[in-house]
Structure 1
């Protein structure tokens, strides 16, 4: 079963959507938990899709300097990309996309996004909207709306690829056509098309826009 959709631009989340950085992410948050005597599993359960500063503010003990702790965590992330890999087929799909027709919208900071994309062997797009570029992180739609504007297109004419609840909510609120990447089963994923990777993905630049064909997962609904 395949998914076929036409759009003016494609907007991708990064972690869990284009790349698998699970090993590095878990190592960093476990360091943070150990520093403060916190439950690492509890932090990891809610950290995905959020900006680092928001997760720190939620879990850090009272009196913690949130800005300083966030800076420490970001430095840990930037220095540690071991185990970061691209999702199958992602490199080929991105290489086939016209420049200026896709963007990265991530809850990671810009430096970290650049390091992880490089570690995974993926190119950077002309438009990268990071945690450093927005006032409000996901699930707020600011990032996706900003990316669409920078690409010169209406957010409602975009396809948004996301793997986390906050990101799916953000993409939907921006007006994009959301595609779930991976196993996430939250409310925002209900009834949405789903893929597990980009193997077999094909994109054609037509007069009507980008005609994208994806291989749906066995549980996908369109």
Structure 2
């Protein structure tokens, strides 16, 4: 495995907490996302490719605010798009190996950190056959979305771990930037475009990820990964 610069990466690492993004990281919702943003782009004569290039991994309101025509009701448009996304689940599936990995991880050491709100997260995870972790930091619980690290730092706080002892699994540049800004080891999932920042690991999915869970002398979880 190599980084964006082609240098060799260590094959294994150990952490105390595992933080997952949702869309594109645990759940493949590409068809629904492209459909909804396609309708938004068509309505206002916008460049869909540019919207998709910059919207992935960030909160919907931030994308609407960026691309909606002057004078548009950003709150109402965001709510409308949200309702469209919640009503569409066809084609949503879990990434290979995601379900098995989630079952293996201790509940008190895993969190979901997503730019979706809680209702949409519940719907998409259920559609993919995945349980939402007990700790979930959704868009409605943070003031600043990715690439700001607030969501990941909040998740580490809730799990009671130092950010340096956590790993982030992300697929989008905004989320990868958020994980790095939080001071966490970061793993890019799937065909992330372009070069990755130095030190970021890359996996296609979780099908070949090795994971062992243990406890230290204080009874705290220790999670060892081999990618």
Q: TM-score, normalised by structure 1?
A: 0.92
The answer to whether 1:145 aligns with 2:153 is: yes
Q: How far apart in 2 are the matches of 1:105 and 1:45?
A: 20
1:16 aligned partner: 24
The answer to whether 1:70 aligns with 2:78 is: yes
What SS class does the counterpart of residue 100 from structure 1 fall into?
A: helix
Alignment of 1:51-200 (within 5 A): 51-186=59-194, 188-200=196-208
Q: How far apart in 2 are the matches of 1:191 and 1:202?
A: 19
1:211 aligned partner: 223
C-alpha distance 202-12 of structure 1, shift in aligned 2 (>3 A): same
What SS class does the counterpart of residue 203 from structure 1 fall into?
A: strand
Q: How far apart in 1 are the matches of 2:133 and 2:178?
A: 20
**Residue-by-residue CA offset, 1:29-69 (whole Å, 9 max, x unaligned):** 01111222222222111110110000000000001000000
The answer to whether 1:36 aligns with 2:48 is: no
Q: What number of residue pairs does the alignment pair up? A: 215
Q: How far apart in 2 are the matches of 1:57 and 1:158?
A: 32
2:14 aligned partner: 6
Q: Which moved more, 1:206-215 or 1:43-52?
A: 206-215
Answer yes or no: is the 8 Å Cα contact 1:180–1:193 preserved in 2: yes
Q: How far apart in 2 are the matches of 1:213 and 1:147?
A: 20
Structural RMSD (CA): 1.5
2:54 aligned partner: 46
**Residue-by-residue CA offset, 1:8-32 (whole Å, 9 max, x unaligned):** 1000011111111100000000111
- Per-residue deviation at 1:123? 1.0
